[in-house]
């Protein structure tokens, strides 16, 4: 792949909790602004790829511990051996690297791998920033939940729990794709040509639907509502585009790029804007290289 890509991925959360902290509340920074970590978005993408049958290394899988016969997560080594082959101190690093790059999450996001004397750190070709909520009127809602069970046989009543959600939030993640990140490995790993167009397309697929498909109890109201992909010559450098996006709540919501000139620079090959046309209007992305598409059907609007 011989192009740089700057992207923004937007996730809508309605009466759900896209990314909770350890208290169960939506994550916030010190001024109480809600945000979603890059790990939340990456997790949804990994689940999407795993469901497609792609190799995903850095995702939880389980085993039954023999002595205690208890369910527990696998170690990194255990997960590696589940996907690839046995790993020992004698395993050549070039073989480990080849296996690592065959996993789509490593190809996209890189890896830190320190097992059996193989200390490998790969800076990912795709870097995802923190996704800040751009809807200023978000409120946190706390629901009491009655459990059908008590904590033990001495209690007369069943226990109470809580479900914490945002009434509405709109997260926008900045993304940079730098295909040159793996150039140093091309001469080391057999049959490796660096970051591939195929990997980028799989990332792009996930950026359009992975949040929508991750329909767990806390995320049933979360969905992909917007994605921007700006493909450029390798010499083009753009700022964090998510920081220039505004969200305006209305009967039809508006997602707006504040400075259209950002997309007018020399060296930009094409601009693709995916959005939900049933609930959202787009402003400020018009250029002679912009194509608008329905984020659900992928059809040109």
**What does the DSSP 8-state code read for residue 60?**
-
Torsion of CA 144, 150, 155, 161, to 10 degrees: -20
pLDDT tens per residue across span 57-73? 999 999 988 777 889 99
Predicted TM-score (pTM) of the model is: 0.93
pLDDT for residue 147: 77
What CA–CA distance (Å, rounded) separates 186 from 173? 30
Confidence tier at 192 by pLDDT (50, 70, 90): very high
Closest CA to 214 of 95, 51, 94, 72: 51
pLDDT for residue 229: 98
Domain map of the chain by residue range? Answer: 4-53+126-294
Long-range contacts (CB closer than 8 Å, 24 or more residues apart) made by 86-94: 87/115, 87/116, 87/118, 88/116, 89/116, 89/117, 91/116, 91/118, 93/118, 93/120, 94/188, 94/189, 94/190
Closest CA to 19 of 56, 44, 52, 53: 44
CB 296, CB 275: distance < 8 Å: no
CB 106, CB 57: distance < 8 Å: yes
pLDDT tens per residue across span 9-51? 999 999 999 999 999 999 999 999 999 999 999 999 999 999 9
Percent residues over pLDDT 70 in the chain = 98
pLDDT of 153 > 80? The answer is no
CB 1, CB 200: distance < 8 Å: yes
Confidence tier at 161 by pLDDT (50, 70, 90): confident
pLDDT of 111 > 90? The answer is yes
pLDDT of 199 > 80? The answer is yes
Mean pLDDT of 2-11: 97
CB 131, CB 172: distance < 8 Å: yes
What CA–CA distance (Å, rounded) separates 47 from 111? 17
CB 115, CB 139: distance < 8 Å: no
pLDDT tens per residue across span 246-264? 999 999 999 999 999 999 9
pLDDT of 77 > 80? The answer is yes
Mean pLDDT of 173-182: 97
- Which two tokens mark 133? 């909520």
Pick the range with the lowest mean pLDDT from 115-124, 181-190, 209-218, 270-279: 209-218
Confidence tier at 156 by pLDDT (50, 70, 90): low
Long-range contacts (CB closer than 8 Å, 24 or more residues apart) made by 76-80: 76/113, 76/115, 77/115, 77/116, 80/113, 80/115
């Amino acid at each position: 792949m011989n192009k740089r890509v700057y992207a923004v991925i937007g996730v809508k959360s309605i009466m759900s909790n896209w990314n909770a902290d350890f208290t169960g509340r939506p994550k916030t920074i010190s001024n109480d602004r809600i945000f979603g970590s890059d790990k939340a978005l990456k997790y949804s993408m990994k689940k999407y790829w795993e469901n497609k049958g792609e190799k995903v290394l850095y995702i939880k899988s389980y085993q039954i511990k023999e002595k205690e016969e208890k369910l527990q997560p696998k170690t990194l080594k255990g997960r590696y051996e589940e996907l690839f082959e046995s790993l020992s101190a004698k395993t050549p690093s070039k073989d480990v690297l080849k296996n690592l790059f065959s996993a789509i999450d490593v190809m996209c996001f890189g890896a830190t791998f320190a097992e059996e004397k193989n200390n490998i750190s790969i800076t990912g070709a795709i870097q995802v920033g923190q996704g800040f909520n751009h809807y200023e009127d978000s409120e946190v809602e706390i629901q009491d939940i009655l459990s059908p069970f008590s904590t033990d046989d001495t209690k007369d009543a069943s226990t109470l729990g809580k479900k914490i959600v945002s009434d509405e939030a709109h997260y926008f993640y900045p993304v940079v794709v730098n295909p040159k990140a793996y150039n140093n490995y091309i001469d080391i790993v057999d049959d490796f040509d660096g970051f591939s167009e195929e990997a980028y397309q799989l990332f792009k697929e996930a950026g359009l639907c992975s949040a929508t498909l991750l329909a767990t109890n806390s995320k049933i109201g979360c969905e992909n509502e917007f994605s921007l992909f700006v493909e450029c010559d390798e010499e083009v450098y753009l700022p964090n585009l998510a920081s220039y996006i505004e969200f305006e709540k209305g009967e039809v919501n508006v997602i707006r790029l504040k400075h259209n000139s950002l997309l007018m620079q020399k060296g930009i090959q094409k601009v693709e804007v995916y959005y939900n046309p049933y609930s959202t209007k787009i402003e400020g992305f018009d250029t002679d290289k912009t194509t608008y598409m329905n984020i659900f059907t992928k059809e040109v609007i």
